[in-house]
Structure 1
Amino acid sequence: MGKKQFYRSMMVIAMPIALQNLITVGVSMMDTLMLGSLGEAALSASALANQLFFIFTLVIYGTAGGTNVLVAQFWGRKDRESIRRTLAYTYRIVLLFAFIMVALSLFAPRMIMHIFTNDPEVIALGADYLRIVSVSYLFFGIATISGNVLRAVRTVRIGLIASLVSLSVNIVLNWILIFGNLGMPEMGVSGAALATTIARICECITVMVYMKYFEKKIMLKIRDLLHLDRSLRKRFIQNSVPVICNEMLWSLGFSLLTVIIGHMGTAVTAAYSIYNVVSQLSSVMSQGIAAAAAVIVGNTIGAGKQGQLKEVIARLQKAAVGVGLFAFTFVFLSRYSMPFLYDISAESMGYLMDILLIGAFLEGLRPNAFVNMIGILRGGGDAKFVLINDILFLWTICIPLGYLCAFVWNLPVWLTFLVLRFDDVIKLGTSTIRIMQGRWIKDVTREEKTINEMEVSI
């Protein structure tokens, strides 16, 4: 495949994913904006209640990540039957976990809210929100898994279309139900929950209609999901469990970083919160490129074209450098717009300027780490290394050293922030070394068939 054709193929996968991630960030920002006008209690209630959804999404994305390695490699061999058998396991895990989360939210919403806050008003509002929005977990899980599987066989537009449907429905219904417009009662937080639920149902319906009537690659039928293929169980567990653990342990560690920042004072917390928004916006393309890399590497290995991997990897890493330059520029230039966008204290603004300057360099390197870890190594079946690499440095270096910087050594905020977020730099180095070793590639669609049998020089 020529260079231009390769990058065109990569962008066909990456751009819809990046836009889909951008829409997801936009939905969160819109919810925050609308509920924020109702007061801090309403905003806090929805934010804290959604922590349960955050946990749910991690399991879903972990399951999808492990499944996609298998699906991408099966698709490289055009083995549709094995893809359908793999999905029989995937949908079962999603449905089981969704039912558990829905049951907890319906029957013990106040107990869940008590974990996050002691404020009676926030607990009451959050419990009402949870009871309604929990129903959407089931639909979100099905839509997300289906969209990710379609992505692995290079069908990416339907995920973007479904997200646009969800965004449109959510914005309109938020305006109607939260504030009581068009003759509807003013429902506040409960209205936001109902709007989110309906939006996710519409998203799920969009994806399911496509898979039923228009999808021509996998051609999944209900009967394909009724029986489990035991010969796939071991490979499914080997690929999905490390990714699920990866996502959950990383998110827990990242939450601890937020806790450390939160105890450094209100001014630092405000600055860090604003930086997170900028970071999310700057990383949407990084996530798209990484997801595209996983599909391309998986397809290449599944098709038995390991000899092409050296060139494929080089091109993917060059693309990551380009995305990194864009992310660096975006974050660096955003420093000049902050005084016009946010009305915060001079102290907070000073911290924000420092954090954004350091963050610009970190965000510039992140795409390379994403492509190496999520795209190349995980797409090549090396999920265990990614798990160890993703968790080890966060938990053994960044969290303990960040705590010491903040509360024992009393180092400047910018230096503490750098230490807390330095794991991406370390992971970039270790993942690059791993790729250069050239013995990480694993064809997970064939029993015990590894790179040792194929001997590819990277």
Structure 2
Amino acid sequence: MLGSAVQNLLALTDSIFLYHLTEVDFAAIGFVGVFYLVIAAIGYGFSKGGQIIIARRMGEANPERVGRAFYAMLYFELMLAVAMFLFMYFGASWFFAAIVNSQAVYDKSLEYLSFRSWGVFASYAGVAIIALYTGVARTRFIMYDTVLLATVNIVLNYSLIFGHFGMPAMGIAGAGLASTIAEYVALAAFAIYMLGDRKARTYHLFRLPDIDWKLIRNLFRLSVPMVAQAIVGLGSWFLFFGFIENMGERPLAISNLGRIVYLVLSIPSWGYAAGVNTLVSSFIGMNKRQAVVPIIRKTAGLCWANTLLLALPVVLFPETLLYPLFGGTDMSLVTEARPLLWLLLLILSLFSIGGVFFNGLAGTGATMTGLKLQAACAVGYLVYTWLVVEYWHLGLLWAWAAEVWYWLAIIVVSLWFLKSKQWYRLRF
């Protein structure tokens, strides 16, 4: 629903349409889609730092300082977007050649990025605006804007992938172009909303400040651990799909289907996680630290219940409930994915709890501690996956079980840190 969930929504839409093109396209988008999620997560990680600062200023009853924090975040995001674009535009071919075995997956991945890379500017500016409105706890228009983005992306995917409505049939490249255009449309809509937002004046958003390098350094210091967390977390996910790609195009396609189900059913968890981040920071700003852990526990319980309510019917009746997305004359991929869906039910249950607890930890400002804990969990995740896939050759389900161990570890270390109360001493 918020921030990185927007990128998950775009990746989901691209994957669903490409499922109906060819299996190679579907396998490739599963791989390159995770790569772009890593790029997007870097910008999202820096916006999380800005969100924490903005929420803290609101908790301190200093709304006039919100605008300066927002523009420091926006300036930095745009500078970072230039660097990411140059990397994708000039370095992607070398990077993918080093890790991809299938020539078809390699070619399709570069086709997608040739258009998708241009969306990084809208993506990074968009997460800055989302961080602003999430930080001041006014998220209603984010939902409307997300619906607009999804609608535009669906229409353009249908048009540009298959060549409808007079558009060229561009295949996977059309999916990249559709997602990029959708992001710019959503960004323009949010900018128009901001111009008409009367409350925005109390944040001093219409007074364009000079670049505040001191504030940017503070934002950078706070955000770097969260960016590193995103790289560690999604980077591990990307390497996981790299291991799966080495197993062949069919296992990669099955895993991409599982990833889509994972993304859809985890959307509530992303929303709860973003919300608890703001709540924790705000309550600390109001000097109510004793309320932090109870808030995180209640949020995790609600998140788990909602996730289970959505996930259980899909696991029990996949051919029926997934038919609108993956229906056709050949449903063999869905049938082969059935065992994976049962495993996903356990993974989603753990993720719904672990994601909330870990984002609650980040909301305390203990981002460096969070990075160290997540890095340790990610190392174990990758070692396990490598052993299962490359050394023991145990198969797809054993590989996906890495997610179970990862989220169990995240829950344990997050609970340990929150109960230790070390975060009581943090100031920024």
User: Could you tell me how far apart the structure 1 residues matched to 2:255 and 2:91 are?
Assistant: 32
Are 2:346 and 1:366 aligned?
A: no
Larger mean Cα displacement after TM superposition, 258-267 or 140-149: 258-267
Question: Partner letter of residue 359 of structure 1?
Answer: L
Give the Å deviation of 1:41.
5.4
User: Could you tell me how far apart the structure 1 residues matched to 2:251 and 2:162 are?
Assistant: 33
Residue in 2 aligned with 1:384? Answer: 368
Residue in 2 aligned with 1:69? Answer: 52
Are 2:295 and 1:337 aligned?
A: no
Q: TM-score, normalised by structure 2?
A: 0.84
Check the 8 A contact 2:226/2:371 in 1, yes or no.
yes
Check the 8 A contact 1:72/1:152 in 2, yes or no.
yes
Cα gap change, 1:442 to 1:369, in 2 (>3 Å): farther
Larger mean Cα displacement after TM superposition, 291-300 or 405-414: 405-414
- Structure 1 residues 149-168: Cα deviation after superposition (integer angstroms, max 9, x where no partner): 21111111222222211122
Cα gap change, 1:152 to 1:37, in 2 (>3 Å): same
Residue in 1 aligned with 2:279? Answer: 296
Match of 1:239 among 219, 222, 229: 222
Check the 8 A contact 2:347/2:403 in 1, yes or no.
no
- Structure 1 residues 221-258: Cα deviation after superposition (integer angstroms, max 9, x where no partner): 3522x23152x355323311111111112222222333
- Structure 1 residues 308-355: Cα deviation after superposition (integer angstroms, max 9, x where no partner): x33x53143123123213434543442322345475659x956x4444
Residue in 2 aligned with 1:258? Answer: 241
Check the 8 A contact 1:267/1:345 in 2, yes or no.
no
Cα gap change, 1:156 to 1:47, in 2 (>3 Å): same
Aligned residue for 2:424, secondary structure, equals: coil
Residue in 2 aligned with 1:33? Answer: 16
User: Could you tell me how far apart the structure 2 residues matched to 1:254 and 1:97 are?
Assistant: 22
Number of residue equivalences = 419
Cα gap change, 1:40 to 1:443, in 2 (>3 Å): same
User: Could you tell me how far apart the structure 1 residues matched to 2:393 and 2:164 are?
Assistant: 51
Match of 1:161 among 138, 144, 154: 144
Matches within 5 A, 1:320-359: 320-340=300-320, 341=323, 343=330, 349=335, 352-359=337-344
Check the 8 A contact 2:300/2:357 in 1, yes or no.
no
User: Could you tell me how far apart the structure 2 residues matched to 1:192 and 1:281 are?
Assistant: 18
Give the Å deviation of 1:17.
4.0
Residue in 2 aligned with 1:96? Answer: 79
Give the Å deviation of 1:270.
4.7
Are 2:110 and 1:130 aligned?
A: no
Check the 8 A contact 2:78/2:124 in 1, yes or no.
yes
Give the Å deviation of 1:409.
4.9
Larger mean Cα displacement after TM superposition, 196-205 or 215-224: 215-224
Are 2:38 and 1:55 aligned?
A: yes
Check the 8 A contact 1:75/1:153 in 2, yes or no.
yes
Cα gap change, 1:54 to 1:236, in 2 (>3 Å): same
Could you list the structure 1 runs, at least 4 aligned residues long, displaced by more than 6 angstroms after superposition: 118-122
- Structure 1 residues 52-100: Cα deviation after superposition (integer angstroms, max 9, x where no partner): 5323202111101122111111111122343323233322221122112
Check the 8 A contact 1:135/1:197 in 2, yes or no.
yes
Check the 8 A contact 1:102/1:135 in 2, yes or no.
yes
Give the Å deviation of 1:198.
2.1
Question: Partner letter of residue 143 of structure 1?
Answer: G
Check the 8 A contact 1:177/1:192 in 2, yes or no.
yes
Matches within 5 A, 1:271-286: 271-286=254-269
Q: TM-score, normalised by structure 1?
A: 0.79
Give the Å deviation of 1:208.
1.3
Question: Partner letter of residue 386 of structure 1?
Answer: G
User: Could you tell me how far apart the structure 1 residues matched to 2:407 and 2:186 are?
Assistant: 33
Check the 8 A contact 1:327/1:363 in 2, yes or no.
yes
Residue in 1 aligned with 2:377? Answer: 393
Give the Å deviation of 1:291.
1.1
User: Could you tell me how far apart the structure 2 residues matched to 1:193 and 1:365 are?
Assistant: 32
Give the Å deviation of 1:432.
1.1
**Greater gyration radius:** 1
Cα gap change, 1:328 to 1:52, in 2 (>3 Å): closer
Give the Å deviation of 1:368.
2.2
Aligned residue for 2:61, secondary structure, equals: coil
Question: Partner letter of residue 378 of structure 1?
Answer: A
Q: Percent identity?
A: 20
Question: Partner letter of residue 317 of structure 2?
Answer: S
Q: Which runs of 5+ in 2 are unaligned?
A: none
Question: Partner letter of residue 143 of structure 2?
Answer: L
User: Could you tell me how far apart the structure 2 residues matched to 1:272 and 1:131 are?
Assistant: 24
- Structure 1 residues 373-402: Cα deviation after superposition (integer angstroms, max 9, x where no partner): 11x21111111121111110220x232234
Q: Which runs of 5+ in 1 are unaligned?
A: 1-15, 446-458
